[in-house]
Amino acid sequence: MLKQRILTAVILAPLALIAILFLPIEGFKLAVAGVICLGAYEWANMSGITLRLFKGWFTIFIGCICAVLIFLVDAQSIWVQGELNPIFAFILWVAAFWWAASFFMILAYPKYSSFWKSSIPIRAFFGVLTLIPTWVAIVSLRTSLYDVTPVYGASLLFYVLGIVWAADIGAFFVGVKFGKHKLRPNVSPGKSVEGLVGGVVASMAIIAFAAMHYQFEESRIGVHVLIGMITVAVSALGDLNESMIKRCAGIKDSGKLLPGHGGVMDRIDSLTAAFPVFAFCYMIWMA
């Protein structure tokens, strides 16, 4: 299993690096949409949709939304004079409310979940609220200040990836070694409070490095650190949210596409929360 995980990571990491750094914006938008569509197929399964035909239709539906957004908002219109396109901005606002609602859903689970737990359409709609803002957030960050320096947006994406991955690694090792207090045992028995703290501490090194790299004014360093901390915390929320949906469906992994890792959603669950929330904070406080 470990060898499979390492081999899969060795293959996928360079592909992600190439896509972020070297794909033209329109190609990048399509590539990200492709990953989102793979996640959509798995989310359909997590929602309780069992027939391949209906899973395919849900995937096409998500793909069509991405296609409409690509058609309506070209690369030059995503950011205009430091302001995010109103359509994209609205979607990020929706994402902020969705993840706030998801937080309370996870805290209360399994109480007050009967209205959505047994409803396939509602759980599928949760997928729309999760996947579409992820696409919007990634594209918005990648195109930020693109006309000034094409790699600035890429650095934002790497920053989010870095702090989330550091948090995941820190949470894993601290959780295995010291984890005694379960974070949300009804949702994900393997997560611990100690692991969450370890993940936050591990990510602080990258947050501090980024503060120096971007040369923030002293008055803005606190905001930068706060946004980083929020992003790390909400990445755990994304993980717990997917675990909650999978628990309702009675499945362990979202899919089998990635050997040793499970499905696409199992790899990007943290990012589906981290990217939209970071992009929302960036739009409000940093752009």
Of 168 and 87, more confident = 87
At residue 2, does pLDDT exceed 50?
no
φ, ψ (nearest 5 deg) of residue 84: -75, 145
- Give Cα separations from 273 to 42, 243, 255, 265 (angstroms): 17, 13, 19, 12
Mean pLDDT of 248-272: 80
> Who has greater pLDDT, 65 or 243?
65
Q: What's the pLDDT at 19?
A: 92
Q: Identify the pLDDT of residue 28.
A: 96
Which percentage of the chain shows pLDDT scores above 90? 52
Q: Quick count: other Cβ atoms within 10 Å of Cβ 62? A: 25
Q: What's the pLDDT at 206?
A: 83
pLDDT at 257: 72
Per-residue b/e over 13-35, b at no fewer than 16 CB within 10 Å?
eeeeeebbeeeebeebbebbbeb
Query: At residue 81, does pLDDT exceed 70?
Result: yes
Q: How far apart are CA 280 and CA 95, in angstroms?
A: 8
Mean of pLDDT values over 160-174 = 85
Two structure tokens written together for 105: 């859903």
Residue whose token pair is 């914006």: 25
Distances (CA, A) of 108 to 35, 112, 154, 185, 217: 31, 7, 37, 12, 40
- Predicted confidence at residue 112, as pLDDT, reads 78
In this predicted structure, what is the pLDDT of residue 1? Answer: 46
Q: Write out pLDDT tens, residues 182-236.
A: 777 777 777 778 888 888 888 888 887 777 766 566 667 778 888 998 999 899 8
Q: Which of 105-114, 115-124, 268-277 is predicted least confidently? A: 105-114
| pLDDT at site 261 | 58
In angstroms, the CA 172 to CA 177 distance is: 9
